[in-house]
């Protein structure tokens, strides 16, 4: 995948945490790999650095540690930095955008405006871009969360939609750019043996987990206004669910893929308004030990109120009311300060209807597909085999697709892939407005229930797998989370 076209890439929030950890490392790797056209240039926009030299010093100090050591090359890094201009700008001051207009100029190629800022700045920035003639030949990238509920999301989309056409708006969800998510589609739709099994007759349950060892770090003020439900469930987890559960698209073009994912989100069974607690667990971490170090409780983190009820953990049961998935529970889980950092999809197939080999506790263990998204990207198929020796003793074995080991070719990171897609105008891996609003609509009953002041989260110790209620929810369906079974 390579782009040769001219472009101007403008990064708002150029000194922010997301830019340092994800966006700039992704752009650097695309530059190093030679897949960015030489006519492309970058303009960073921020308030923190006084000038270009100060900005590049900031980048040197904050970005290099987030670039994989194997990918860092001094010559490539220096030539990458040479492609940057810098504009010191206050995004809330429309007058400052004259400076940006001069820096962008009227050169050829597309203009990409990446808004790695608070959602409250999306509309003011877009209006100032339009007022200064910068909306032509433009694409605007909006980071999540887009608003704080359905109403605010619609307000932002309406205002941005007055300036940019829908095909110019790229709502990014970096999980959709992961190699293993793309391989999930290849696994399903490129191999005849899996598609017949991908339905309620053969699938007992599906688990989707995004777990982090990290706490809120220095983002307490932002996180306390957001919480895990808005930060992770409404976007990442529901996007992964719709990718797992979608019908085969007519083709891999953006329109076909988006149509099938939207159908899944619209088929989500409405949550029970009278008893959300049956299908949703809300947790918050207390102090505990992570990697041998004592870590503080969420309420003791910087810029977090001491009586905060914001959730740092969510576990949900979702159901899809369509022909393929009726009756199959989808268990979604995310949290901070958990025992392990991982993201994975677990497809539990039904045990054989009658075992001629005798009863075995391994029946469910041996009928499972595990798609790991991070820390390593892999696909592992578990099945049962006979142990060597007399008798018919079974053991669980697995077939692995370890991308790094098997495919050998260098793997493209999620942000690198998605940034190239924006420049080239590929929309398939970005979230359209109707998908986003369908997701907000489904989680709104939970937002409303948890907003009641008397509703407090269930506490869990840092370094564990969250509240016991999350395990109890699965136990009612005769199953467990993957790590509990092991």
Please give the annotated binding residues for NADP(+), written as ranges.
47, 144
Write out the binding residues: 47, 144, 174, 178, 212, 231, 336
- Radius of gyration over alpha carbons of the chain, in Å? 23
Among residues 422, 438, 474, which one has the least CA distance to residue 170? 422
CA distance 107 to 141: 20
Annotated catalytic residue within 62, 66, 236, 398 = 236
Rounded to 10°, the helix 97-104/122-131 angle is: 60
Give, in order, the Cα–Cα distances in Å from 357 to each of 351, 391, 392: 13, 10, 7
Q: Do the bridges between strand 378-386 and strand 394-402 make them parallel or antiparallel, or are there none, so unpaired?
A: antiparallel
Decide if 385 contacts 362 (C-beta within 8 A): no
Backbone angles phi, psi at 429, to 5 degrees: -95, 15
Q: What is the C-alpha separation between 156 and 161, in angstroms, rounded?
A: 8
In this structure, is the dihedral angle defined by the CA atoms of residues 332, 326, 202 and 186, taken in order, positive or negative?
A: negative
Q: Chain-centre distance of CA 349, in angstroms?
A: 25
Name the token pair of 24: 């700039």
Binding site members for substrate: 174, 178, 212, 231, 336
The rounded distance, in Å, linking the Cα atoms of 428 and 436 is 14
Q: Give the Cα-Cα-Cα angle 47, 48, 50 (nearest 5 degrees).
A: 85
Cα–Cα dist 316/281, whole Å: 6
**CA dist., res. 325 & res. 188, Å (int):** 15
Six token digits for residue 80: 């990458």
Annotated catalytic, 354? no
Catalytic residue set: 236
């Amino acid at each position: 995948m390579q782009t040769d076209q001219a472009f101007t890439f403008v990064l708002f929030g150029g000194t922010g945490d997301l830019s340092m950890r994800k966006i700039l490392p992704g752009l650097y790797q695309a530059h190093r790999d030679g897949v960015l056209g030489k006519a492309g240039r970058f303009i960073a926009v921020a308030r923190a650095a006084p000038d270009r030299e100060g900005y590049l010093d900031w980048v040197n100090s904050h970005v290099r540690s987030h670039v994989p050591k194997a990918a860092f090359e001094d010559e490539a890094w220096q030539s990458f930095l040479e492609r940057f201009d810098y504009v010191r700008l206050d995004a809330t001051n429309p007058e400052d955008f004259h400076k940006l207009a001069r820096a962008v100029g009227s050169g050829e190629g597309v203009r990409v405006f990446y808004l790695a800022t608070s959602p409250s700045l999306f509309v003011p920035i877009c209006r100032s871009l339009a007022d200064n003639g910068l909306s032509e030949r433009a694409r605007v990238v909006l980071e999540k969360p887009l608003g704080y509920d359905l109403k605010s999301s619609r307000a932002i989309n309406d205002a941005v939609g007055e300036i940019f056409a829908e095909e110019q708006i790229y709502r990014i969800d970096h999980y959709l750019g992961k190699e293993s998510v793309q391989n999930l589609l290849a696994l399903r739709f490129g191999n005849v043996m899996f598609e017949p099994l991908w339905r309620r007759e053969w699938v007992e349950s599906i688990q989707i987990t995004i777990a982090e060892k990290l706490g809120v770090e220095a983002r307490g003020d932002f996180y306390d206004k957001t919480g895990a439900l808005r930060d992770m469930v409404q976007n990442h987890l529901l996007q992964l669910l719709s990718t797992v559960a979608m019908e085969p698209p007519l083709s891999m073009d953006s329109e076909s893929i988006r149509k099938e994912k939207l159908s899944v989100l619209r088929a989500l069974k409405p949550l029970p308004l009278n008893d959300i607690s049956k299908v949703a667990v809300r947790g918050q971490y207390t102090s505990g030990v992570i990697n041998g170090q004592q870590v503080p409780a969420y309420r003791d983190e910087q810029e977090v109120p001491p009586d905060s009820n914001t959730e740092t953990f969510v576990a949900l049961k979702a159901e899809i009311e369509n022909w393929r998935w009726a009756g199959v529970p989808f268990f979604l889980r995310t949290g901070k300060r958990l025992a392990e950092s991982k993201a994975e999809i677990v497809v539990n197939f039904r045990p054989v209807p009658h075992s001629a080999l005798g009863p075995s506790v391994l029946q469910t263990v041996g009928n499972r597909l595990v798609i790991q998204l991070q820390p390593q990207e892999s696909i592992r198929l578990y099945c049962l085999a006979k142990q060597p020796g007399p008798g018919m003793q079974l053991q669980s074995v697995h077939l692995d697709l370890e991308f790094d080991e098997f495919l050998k070719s260098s793997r493209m990171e999620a942000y690198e892939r998605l940034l190239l897609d924006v420049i080239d105008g590929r929309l398939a891996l970005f979230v359209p407005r109707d998908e986003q609003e369908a997701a907000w609509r489904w989680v709104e009953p939970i937002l409303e229930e948890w907003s009641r002041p008397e509703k407090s989260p269930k506490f869990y110790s840092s370094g564990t797998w969250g509240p016991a209620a999350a395990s109890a929810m699965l136990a009612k369906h005769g199953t467990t989370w993957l790590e509990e079974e092991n």
